[in-house]
Amino acid sequence: MDVLTFSNAEDLMKLSGRYELLKGVICEMSPPGEKHGVTASKIGYIIGKYVYENKLGVTTAAETGYKLSSNPDTVRAPDLAFKSNERIARGGITEGYSTVMPELVVEVNSPQDSYGRVLKKLNEWFSSGVMSVIVVDPYEKNVILYESPEHYKMFEYNDLLELREILPGFTCRVGEIFEI
């Protein structure tokens, strides 16, 4: 991540490219590799299909920014997010960065993601009102479901991932996420 300049969410919206804003600092992000993209697309399809078939709300794809904090501004872009109809009713679907957080965020690990970097993102998401975060590891072929930074469960390839609190009735065998 290259640091460009000190700024705010409004300045970030004017840029073209892949960026996040971390406490007022614009950070350029390199495009993810194909494995990352295929994994993010697959889990997006699986969760999105369930959300739309059951009319539960919306999912957003990678590059969709959420404004987590202000003064200094932080805008993060998860690989996937789910926002329920209830939360949509609080703030609608905005043209800019939503300050109404999704209930669920999915982050797909990249080879350069360290545990500390992932934990920092988790803390930011939970501090801003996200209820659950799924961290997908396409290299180890597992997922970790966090209900807080301290409370999590790892699911291996043959395990059944359930999201009872967020998406009642949703189940997915973890291996489906990684099958081509």
CATH of the domain at 68: 3.90.1570.10
Split at pLDDT 50, 70, 90, the class of 78 is: very high
β-pairing, 152-155 vs 142-146, is: antiparallel
- Whether 109 is covered by a domain: the verdict is yes
Q: What confidence score (pLDDT) does residue 19 get?
A: 62
Q: How far apart are CA 57 and CA 24, in angstroms?
A: 30
Is residue 55 one of the residues assigned to a domain?
yes
On the question of pLDDT at 1 being above 50, the answer is no
Structural domain includes residue 26: no
Please give the tally of structural domains in the chain: 1
Strand partners, 132: 104
Asked if residue 111 has pLDDT above 90, the reply is no
Burial of 79 (0-12, 13-18, 19+ CB in 10 A): buried
Question: Quick check: 127 pLDDT over 50?
Answer: yes
The answer to whether residue 15 scores a pLDDT higher than 60 is no
Half-sphere CA count of 147, side-chain side, radius 13 A = 9
Q: For residue 60, what are the domain limits?
A: 32-178
Helix (H, G, I), strand (E, B) or coil at 13: helix
Residue 88 in domain:
yes
| % of the chain surpassing 90 pLDDT | 59
